[in-house]
A and B are shown apart, each in its own frame.
Chain A
Amino acid sequence: MSLARTRWVSIVLFAAALAAASPSFAVQPDEILSDSALETRARTLSGELRCMVCQNQSIDDSDAPLARDLRLLVRERLKAGDSDAQVLDFLTARYGQFVLLRPRFGWDTALLWGAPAGVLLVGGLAIVLALRRRKDLSVSATTPLTDDETRRLNELAGR
């Protein structure tokens, strides 16, 4: 990535919610397949694949030449009769995990996939334990008065 491009990107990054991307024009009219079922599958698959020279863009969103090549490749494979999984396998074999926007579950992504559920479980457990402990506390707070306390209370009440 050239220096100019890097600077450019870092400026765009400032606009926080503005995805770092050039005004783009992704899928070109000439790419669209005549079979609309296949085209729909191609679009869905494109959303799962990363344009590897872009900032976090799928090939469906990107106007980079590489993204176009990949889109054409996806459509070629689909026309050749590949299933969705086969297309993804094909591209992963060629470009590695980096091309998948939804990383596959594995030992190196276990933490990534497990984290939200983990937080939910640990948090839930902590809440249950805290509620239990405080229930015990509240029970111990209502232990019956000792004889001495009862006597003093009666004195105070003038009984």
Chain B
Amino acid sequence: MTPGRATGGMWYTFRTNRVAQAGGTIIVSTLMAILLVRLLSPYGPNEKDYMSILHMPSLAHPFGTDSFGQDVLTRVVYGAQVSLIISFGGLILGGLVGSVIGMASGFWGGVLDAVTMRFIDLLYSFPTYVLALCLMLLLGYGSRSVSLAIALVYVPNFARLARSMTAATRAENYVTAARLMGQSPTRILLREILPNIAAPLLVQFSAGLGFGIILEAGLSFIGLGVQPPTPSLGVMMADGKDYFQKAPWVLTLTGVSVAWIILGLNLLGDGLRDALDPQLRRRLS
């Protein structure tokens, strides 16, 4: 199967898969809302108005205002952008490194496989925040370190997936054929194997993007991640928790926005998985 046909098939199944459509709708409408609020909002993300501190949600401030009188909706929109970029960067890096390790491991096997996969198992045995916290101490707090922490947490997921898929694909006839034709291992990995294992990696990416946002939010929430005044979603929730008995909307509505974005990503990932694995779908329906 050529890569072109694979993506064409994906688009077709996406059009016929209701779960993927629901996820896609959420993501696209959220992106449009982000754009609209950025264009139309009369407030800046760090614009303080000490005359309207902790106002309830109203027409002027649909999500209310926080302890500095900043408009929560505007900050959520800017924060979502920051958090998405951080998570996206982390997943791209973690996905690339993990996939390369996994594919090499699954393709060549032997001692390389045994040693690297033990190391991957070790990485996978650290609780997510413990791993992230140690890395934050090493690299210092801030957006870039959070991205790297997300990458490190996700390397083992991608490596394990890529390894098992590559090991299963290695024995296929088209791989043997390519080998007999004298193609180099790199070329076989990139041209023959990668297109055939890309789909599950993509699904992992979509689901991981959501968890990356949770990880960023959690780290920033305990104060070890993105630092204020950068408006990431975690920073805003950390701020909102300080006065959440008095003004619960800041924490609650920011969290609802986070959950909404992640729900969209999860639905998209689910839909993609069903679409890309017709055998699974047939078994389950």
Query: Are A and B interaction partners?
Result: no
Q: Please list the residues of chain B having a beta carbon within 8 angstroms of any beta carbon in chain A.
A: none
